[in-house]
Structure 1
Amino acid sequence: MSAYAKKVYLTEEQNQRLSPEGLLASFREGINSLSEEYVAQFYNGRYVWVRVEVNLLQKPGNGEIMAFIYNHDVTRESKLKQILECIMTFGYDEIYTVDEYSGQMDENEQTGILLLMLSDVEDIVKEEKEKQEQLAKALAMAEAANEAKTNFLAGMSHEIRTPMNAIIGLNSMIRSSIDDRNQVLDYTEKLDSASRYLLALLNDILDMSRIESGNMKLAVRAFSGDKFWDNVNMLAKTQALMAGVGYSFDRERKISEVYIGDATRLEQIMINLINNAVKFTPEGGSVDVAVTEQEVNERVQLTTVVSDNGIGIAKDFLPKVFDIFTQQHEENTSVYGGSGLGLSIAHNYARMMDGDITVQSTEGEGTVFTVTVKLDFDRRKKERKEKTEDISFAGKRILLVEDHPLNVIVAKGLLEKKQFEVVTAENGRKAVELVENFPEYYFDAVLMDIRMPVLDGIGAARELRALDREDVKDLPIIAMTANAGEEDRKQTREAGMNEHLAKPIDPKLLYATLQKFILS
């Protein structure tokens, strides 16, 4: 307080308790936090009541004791406390409080402005009571949220370790069965399943983090409505078939062949709700999906109803169904699985699309989720169908810029499978040098990682575009990176890249993208 207070009035007992020796003695007695109140005089002559709070913590590394000390101005709170004590003790209707004042200035006396206060006791009591109720409610909510987050982190640790153990174990089993082709294929299928499950968990965590920080932005692009629902239904039917659950789909009206919006996030919403319905519907039950399309203010409103006759949701849990870190069946996560983030993420995405998700449910009878989103559309546009099965890039050269050896092997294998001649560079600086040293138009495309040593992909793309050569003006540069957010896409565009592919790379999307820029 020396920076703010001219004088601090502490008793000898307070001085002893707040001294280094006193704090160490308290810590030895098992006391980790303590507080004191005292009066301080500021340099402007004003007197205030101050509450000092001390938290004691032992550093794990060297055992040192650290003290975190906070000073709060509690003058108003102290005044109210004095008034309330008078009310409770004497039952007065009116209270007059007067600060002590001395004509003779003495450093041991509290001096200040003479203050006469007339207070409405009933208003003060009511205000204080409401404040205490609000504080109690906020504390209860904070404790509940903290407990839910603790449970979530414990659950996520288990959820992540489960596929990781499978991946490590299956990898070892593949090495020991290398001569048994059928066994290896079986293990690789299980490995693929565990990898995709782990990726879905990580995506949920990252998506929720971006949503909470306000960094999530929709990637708005044109997409085929027919193709979108075909893909959703393929995934949904597979899930329902494996669970022994019936599945039906009905789409009443088709306003446009091409919609404009974030197809990936919309698919996440639909798949999450349908998978949830399948997951909580016993074998022999059914899940029904009904889609209607309506033109509203020159936009299309999609309304999707996902209904099931499964176990339902308890009435007292319905208001919390979209909260993060919460699952009604937390005690049965080993049976139902999941991160507890899916519905919250879907709800946020729907609202970002000018829509919403509502839920109706009766425990033991089933659940109905209704999703509304608004998209732009263009009747004139038809999405071009890309066929990647028979693509050949024979005679085409591509520069693969990637620093991770394993990623180089995977990407090079995918490219050579389609007859590409592949030249590799381990960083952006090497990539720029290769383009400079080879003749003009030697490379037909560049596949560029972003995070690399020496010179990253953003810097390399900028330097390539700045070269004094004709070929680099139209040379397709395609980002291939784990940085898949909209802000990352914006950076790659600004650096002069033509397209952005997110890792792990989807081979069909990779081939279709290269086809668009090289063969079209």
Structure 2
Amino acid sequence: MSSDDHKAALFDTLVNAVGDDFYFIHPEDGSIQVLKSQNAASFSLQQEGEGDYDYYMEQTILKRSTDSTPSDVIEKMRLKSVMKALERLNTYRVYYSVSDDSGKVHFMQAIFIRHSRDEILLVVRDANSLLRHMSKRVDSLQNALHESKVELDKRSAFLSLMNRNIRGPLYSIMGLTKIAQQEQPDHTAIESYLHKVSMSGAYMSETIDDILDLRRIAKHDIKLRPEQIKLRDFFDRIGQYQLPGMDERGFLFSTETDTVNDLLVSMDVHCMERICNKLLFCASTYTMKGGRILLRAKNLYQESDFAQIELSVESQGIVMEPERLKLLTQPSEYFIDRITGDLSPLDIALVILKSYVKAMNTEQLSVTSDPNHGTAISLTLRLALSRKQEGEENPSAEASIDLRGKRVLIVDDNEINLEISEKLLLSKGIDVVSATNGQEAVHRFVAEKGNFDVILMDVLMPVMDGLEATRQIRSTQEIPNAQTIPIIAMTVNGLSENYDESFRAGMNAHLLKPVNPERLYSVISKVLSKKSES
């Protein structure tokens, strides 16, 4: 096989695969040999032809160049320039543009590679497709950069909100505690301090809920988790939560829910709580001290499986400005981009309100505001009815559960949280056993042969976390009730994925700290009721 045949065979597979033009340049005499040339905008040499490299290169550039300074391109591609570059580089590249016979412009790449001492391999490539690919890649990177910046801005917003809205009440709690410690024995004064500490703690809890909600909203991560509840109990809970703060701010707060109290519904309690609380916050923002605020729920009509409920908040006070009225009627998507560190408390309430209203399949709010009647905000909700309603022969077993004498294993690595939980349960006559991490909980469960009615399990703990402890308890074959004992997560983790992780691990319920005592008793009763029914 001749040298030329060998070279052709050597590059045949590669040449046919990629469609580039391949040449050999011989530095000794400056000649150029074509291996394959199929690109009309490349060198005008025949497939088998040979000639002087510098001559053909210069003629091609002068004839076809669309560069503003073709002489610069020619100078870069002259053999002497190539030779000089390859003394320090393994590969030398030159970029230029030319037009083909139809006038179409091609961006070209000439790649010079030292093949041997006597030969330089020249690859001429049409870079149009490469540029298109690079352009798409740049666009993709720019989009990713923009999304990263948006995500970073939102994270910064969350941190800013935490810093601004948590430090204030935290300072109040620490300061009031210090004052109470230094106070001469005065029951009235200390009771006042404790009340203010409680109010500051409630504000911090609300702020943390806001931040978690904003993160869910930013991630489009709102998932409804329906549970059965009597609306009388739900609105009683809302009233108990709102009344202290309303009194503190000088508002006359009341509820009117007679037409819905007897309904047993299936709904996401957290979502509904947030809607009610944010509606009340919006109303209170436009109410003067001494003004009345009414939360009303009205049963518009019902069928066998659902009830249509009108939920409204009415307040006496300042008329809402047109700009704010317009905001209340915007779709929820409008508020996603407004999540920044500069959000006011009212802005935060609107973002959360609109997002949860949409999650409940009720996008539109109805708003009226005038000097004679004040402000009214209302929406209509379609709530699924549970099968058993008030007055039926088989009332909910949950209501009849007596917690006295029940045995509960509490697992928490925080001594203060453990003490609080123990006190809450002991006040209901519950027998309490405690463990400070997941591993200790598993050992205690096995040692006592599963002799517990319920387990309250923290999630984030050293040694062994609550999820792994739950999995190990569920897989304990020698304990008969290991598969059925109710396990309730009590944790600060409040995102949707945290709920999913708890249920996948084998837990029966997921409660967020700080836990409302009545909510805790209700969930314990509920899981015990379900266990007895099964």
- TM-score normalised by structure 1 residue count: 0.64
Structure 2 CA distance for aligned equivalents of residues 437 and 247 of structure 1: 52
Does structure 1 residue 320 correspond to structure 2 residue 320? no
Aligned to 2:74: 106
Kindly tell me: are residues 178 and 409 of structure 1, through their superposed partners in 2, closer, same or farther at Cα, counting changes over 3 Å?
A: farther
Give the residue type in structure 2 aligned to 1:368. A
CA RMSD in angstroms comes to 4.4
Aligned to 2:485: 475
Structure 1 CA distance for aligned equivalents of residues 208 and 41 of structure 2: 55
Kindly tell me: are residues 193 and 285 of structure 1, through their superposed partners in 2, closer, same or farther at Cα, counting changes over 3 Å?
A: closer
Aligned to 1:399: 409
Aligned to 1:72: none
Does structure 2 conserve the Cα–Cα contact (< 8 Å) formed by 1:448 and 1:457? yes
Aligned to 1:306: 313
> What is the percent sequence identity of the aligned residues?
26
Does structure 1 residue 433 correspond to structure 2 residue 443? yes
Does structure 2 conserve the Cα–Cα contact (< 8 Å) formed by 1:480 and 1:503? yes
Task: Indicate the larger mover: 469-478 or 173-182.
Answer: 173-182
Task: Indicate the larger mover: 190-199 or 366-375.
Answer: 366-375
Q: Which has the larger radius of gyration?
A: 2
Does structure 1 residue 171 correspond to structure 2 residue 173? no
Kindly provide the CA deviation profile for residues 76-123 of structure 1, in whole angstroms up to 9, marking residues without a partner as x: xxxxxxxxxxxxxxxxxxxxxx935989983648332346489xxxxx
Aligned to 1:187: 193
Give the residue type in structure 1 aligned to 2:463. V
Aligned to 2:452: 443
- Among residues 448, 466, 471, which one is paired with 2:475 in the alignment? 466
Does structure 1 residue 212 correspond to structure 2 residue 218? yes
**Superposition pairs of residues 103-142 of structure 1, within 5 angstroms:** 106=74, 108=76, 110-114=96-100, 116=103
Q: What is the total number of aligned residue pairs between the two structures?
A: 395
Give the residue type in structure 1 aligned to 2:233. K
Kindly provide the CA deviation profile for residues 336-374 of structure 1, in whole angstroms up to 9, marking residues without a partner as x: xx3631121111111111102425455766433222222
Give the residue type in structure 2 aligned to 1:436. V
Kindly tell me: are residues 401 and 352 of structure 1, through their superposed partners in 2, closer, same or farther at Cα, counting changes over 3 Å?
A: same
Kindly tell me: are residues 363 and 512 of structure 1, through their superposed partners in 2, closer, same or farther at Cα, counting changes over 3 Å?
A: closer
Task: Indicate the larger mover: 446-455 or 170-179.
Answer: 170-179
Does structure 1 residue 507 correspond to structure 2 residue 517? yes
Tell me, what secondary structure is at the counterpart of 2:461?
coil
Does structure 1 conserve the Cα–Cα contact (< 8 Å) formed by 2:225 and 2:267? yes
Gaps of 5+ in 1: 1-5, 7-43, 48-97, 119-142
Aligned to 1:410: 420
Does structure 2 conserve the Cα–Cα contact (< 8 Å) formed by 1:400 and 1:422? yes
Give the residue type in structure 1 aligned to 2:381. V
Structure 1 residue 454: Cα displacement: 2.0
Aligned to 2:167: 161
Structure 2 CA distance for aligned equivalents of residues 434 and 161 of structure 1: 39
Aligned to 1:346: 353
Structure 2 CA distance for aligned equivalents of residues 297 and 207 of structure 1: 33
Kindly tell me: are residues 448 and 152 of structure 1, through their superposed partners in 2, closer, same or farther at Cα, counting changes over 3 Å?
A: closer
Structure 2 CA distance for aligned equivalents of residues 194 and 174 of structure 1: 15
Does structure 2 conserve the Cα–Cα contact (< 8 Å) formed by 1:155 and 1:339? no
Aligned to 1:67: none
Give the residue type in structure 1 aligned to 2:348. L
Tell me, what secondary structure is at the counterpart of 2:377?
strand
Aligned to 1:266: 272
Structure 1 residue 428: Cα displacement: 1.3
Structure 1 residue 254: Cα displacement: 4.5
Aligned to 1:40: none
- TM-score normalised by structure 2 residue count: 0.62
Kindly provide the CA deviation profile for residues 233-276 of structure 1, in whole angstroms up to 9, marking residues without a partner as x: 45556555554445565558559711111122112212221232
